[in-house]
């Protein structure tokens, strides 16, 4: 991708309604975590020291990295490789099968002598979730020669923070000139200066944005995005039901674009943000500008919350494009 006069990525080229540029292809490598999700519906999330009776226990494939890989492949239509680590257990078999069904290349997933990562998730009636993660094998993700070679062929490298920071650094170092590093800085944690310098697009929610900007949690998204633009060329602040704010560094000042959410009836928000990130990366890999990529990602995230689960809830690319087009042209027949 070309750059502007101030050295930031040039995302001014507009594509087709599905967020692509004619004649381009997209290759994405997702470097991140994979977890088996243990999910239970609850009448409300428990407080400290409280026990609540929930519904039936569900065991689903998840993990931010694996979710985003399925999002990029199935919902985003990109040639997607997942770089991660799994144990030698049945949870690993569950995850590999799900990634394969999602169209993700898994030949670079390593099997290690640790339990596959596990997430404990409660889901309230309004679809909101609370999550605790035991990292397990995710603490052993590495970028070896084979992984670095695949990363060097990618258009976009997508990473999160459920894996060691050194792995994110190694992935950033392995990418080719012109390839983008999209960092979903979740869960929130301090980032070293050398990693800040590698990020092309930062994706955060409001709480993560406030943490990274060193600002109050009730800060305005536009203010938080402006502070983060001092560190990175572009920021996407996701705002749940309010949509997202896309902020890009420009020579004449920040360019802010509001991307509205698409109203749907939420069933389960688990993994919806990951679907958003995966589709965003896939669209950028095909040459879409950042606001167009965010619009397509919003459609994917909207569809994801209408279904239970994480990877199981990721929609097909054709459905994502159709919803994005209907949202852009409300009078268009269904």
Q: Cα torsion for 170, 171, 172, 178, to the nearest 10°? A: 140
Catalytic residue among 18, 268, 274, 289: 274
Longest dimension (CA), the chain: 59
Nearest C-alpha neighbor of 182 from the set 240, 108, 232: 232
E strand spans, 126-238: 129-134, 156-159, 180-184, 201-205, 234-238
Q: Identify any residues that bridge with 121 across adjacent strands, giving them in sequence order.
A: 39, 131
Find how far residue 21's CA is from the centre of its chain.
21
Is 41 noted as a catalytic residue in this protein? no
Triad 206, 210, 212: Cα angle to 5°: 115
DSSP state of 287: T
The whole-angstrom separation of Cα 112 and Cα 133 is 18
Q: Three-state SS for 198?
A: coil
Nearest C-alpha neighbor of 105 from the set 75, 135, 74: 74
Q: Give the catalytic positions in this structure.
A: 274
């Amino acid at each position: 991708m070309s750059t502007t006069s101030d050295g930031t990525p040039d995302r001014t080229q507009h594509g087709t309604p599905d967020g692509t540029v004619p004649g381009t292809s997209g290759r994405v490598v997702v470097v991140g975590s994979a977890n088996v999700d243990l999910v239970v519906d609850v009448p409300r999330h428990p407080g400290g020291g409280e026990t609540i009776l929930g519904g039936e226990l569900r065991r689903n494939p998840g993990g931010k990295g694996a979710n985003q890989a399925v999002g990029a492949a199935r919902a985003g239509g990109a040639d997607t490789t997942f770089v991660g680590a799994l144990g030698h257990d049945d949870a690993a078999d569950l995850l590999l099968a799900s990634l394969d069904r999602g169209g993700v290349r898994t030949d670079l997933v390593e099997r290690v002598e640790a339990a596959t990562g596990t997430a404990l998730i409660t889901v309230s009636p309004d679809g909101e979730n609370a999550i605790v993660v035991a990292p397990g094998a995710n603490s052993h993700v590495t970028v070896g020669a084979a992984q670095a070679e695949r990363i060097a062929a990618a258009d976009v490298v997508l990473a999160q923070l459920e894996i060691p920071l050194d792995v994110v650094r190694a992935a950033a170092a392995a990418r080719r000139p012109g390839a983008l590093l999209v960092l979903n800085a979740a869960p929130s944690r301090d980032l070293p200066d050398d990693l800040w310098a590698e990020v092309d697009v930062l994706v955060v929610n409001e709480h993560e944005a406030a943490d990274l900007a060193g600002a109050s949690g009730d800060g305005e998204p536009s203010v938080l995005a402006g502070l983060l633009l001092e560190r990175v060329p572009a920021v996407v602040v996701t705002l749940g039901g309010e949509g997202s704010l896309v902020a890009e560094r420009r020579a004449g000042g920040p360019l802010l674009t509001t991307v509205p959410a698409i109203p749907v009836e939420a069933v389960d928000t688990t993994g919806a943000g990951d679907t958003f990130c995966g589709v965003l990366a896939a669209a950028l890999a095909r040459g879409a500008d950042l606001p167009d990529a965010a619009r397509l990602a919003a459609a994917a995230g909207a569809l994801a919350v209408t279904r239970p689960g994480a990877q199981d809830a990721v929609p097909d690319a054709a459905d994502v494009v159709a919803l994005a087009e209907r949202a852009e042209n409300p009078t268009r027949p269904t």
